[in-house]
Chain A
Amino acid sequence: MSEEIDGFGDVSSSSSDSHDVHVLAVDDSLVDRKVIERLLKITSCKVTAVDSGRRALQLLGLDEEKSSVGFHEMKVDMIITDYCMPGMTGYELLKKIKESSTFREVPVVIMSSENVLARIDRCLEEGAEDFIVKPVKLADVKRLKDYMFGDDGVVSEDIVVGGRSNKRKLQQMSDPYYSSSSPSPSPSPSSISSPSSSLELPNSSTPSSSPPHSPSSLDSPTRRLKMTNCD
């Protein structure tokens, strides 16, 4: 499902809502894949579910064995992966993603059945956005989606500078296609933007530098609870 961003037409072929968050889910367990897929779909995300870190890297065009020339890189807004997997662990996958210039900004969430503080720390230190203890619940996925992407999906008109919840939106705006004089963070030639890209924006309104208001909860109580393990 490659999306060519060279026209002004509808970029997303399958979904009517081209602002859907696209999540790559990685888990070697068939049961867990089915559950996480459903959890994500019910929270209005597009999902690609794979059974291994290797497969995930292939899809992202990061597999060293396969040349990425001519290979359409998948665009993802978030990667959620199991920790314990045969072959490549979720931790190893996380490291590979963070080493990649194209995908290092994509939030990676780790899932694990073992609530081990040392493991959580390692993952967060390596750049994981969050750590979910299995079994994964609807509240977990909703919380993730809300604080990463706000409640209306990805790019929106009234983007305001600042605020952690808008961090992803800002990075998407630094896409080279977007012509703006906004004080965005240093543009990285990343292909992490959502399929809708910035061509879908109705106008090139410059984000104001007014005081940020955070629409979504930055530090929801649940998140704080989960993070206390790292204190």
Chain B
Amino acid sequence: MDVGQLQRRFVEYTSSLFHEGVLDAQFTQLQQLQDESNPEFVFEVVSLFFDDSERILNDLTRALDQKIVDFKNVDSHVHQLKGSSSSIGAQRVKNACIAFRNYCEEQNTEACLRCLQQVKQEYSLAKNKLDSLFRLEQQIVAAGGAVPMVGC
């Protein structure tokens, strides 16, 4: 595939992520912070988000597995994940967290477990999509092209 095709693919793919609500305007904000002096910024932040999220999801799984669930603790983890997903524009993850927090307040273990599943799903989706996006970027750069800016 030539650079032009790769770039078009990138634009289409990014646009679809915005359309599907996987990413929101905050992701565009991050892209605007990337430049020659900091060419890997988005990748770095998103990588931090991945590491952070995986840790939180593990903590959540363990917390909800306890005989007596500490909902305050669960809520605080979800709050963290909500914050970081919001900061990178991972909209669906963020929304899943918002729903999750409501059930934490109700102290409803069953519902929380369902929410956790939902959050994990949205997270996996976002991760896969973003991984594909970065791969596309790499291909463009390797082919000597510039990565197009795609607003939402």
Contacts and interface: CB of A to CB of B under 8 A. Distances in A.
B30 interface: yes
Interface in A20-48: 29-32, 34-35, 38-39, 42
Interface string B93-135: 0000000000000000000000000000000000000000000
Interface residues of A, number: 17
A151 B38 CA distance: 23
Nearest to A39: B33
Given A31-B88, A137-B29, A138-B29, A113 B41 contact: no
A160 B57 CA distance: 54
Interface stretch (B3-11, B44-52, B63-71, B139-147): B44-52
Contact of B45 (A35, A42, A84, A138): A35
A32 B85 CA distance: 10
Nearest to A31: B84
- Of B38, B45, B89, chain A has the most CB atoms within 10 Å of the CB of B45
B41 A29 contact: no
Interface of A: 29-32, 34-35, 38-39, 42, 84, 86, 113, 134-138
Can you list the 8 inter-chain pairs with the closest CB atoms, starting with the nearest? A31-B84, A135-B87, A135-B26, A38-B33, A135-B86, A31-B48, A31-B49, A32-B87
Interface of B: 26, 29-30, 32-33, 38, 41, 44-45, 48-49, 52, 76, 79-80, 82-84, 86-89
Given A31-B48, A31-B49, A32-B84, 19 more contacts: A29-B52, A29-B83, A31-B83, A31-B84, A31-B87, A35-B30, A35-B45, A38-B33, A38-B38, A38-B41, A39-B33, A86-B76, A113-B82, A113-B83, A134-B83, A134-B87, A135-B87, A137-B29, A138-B29
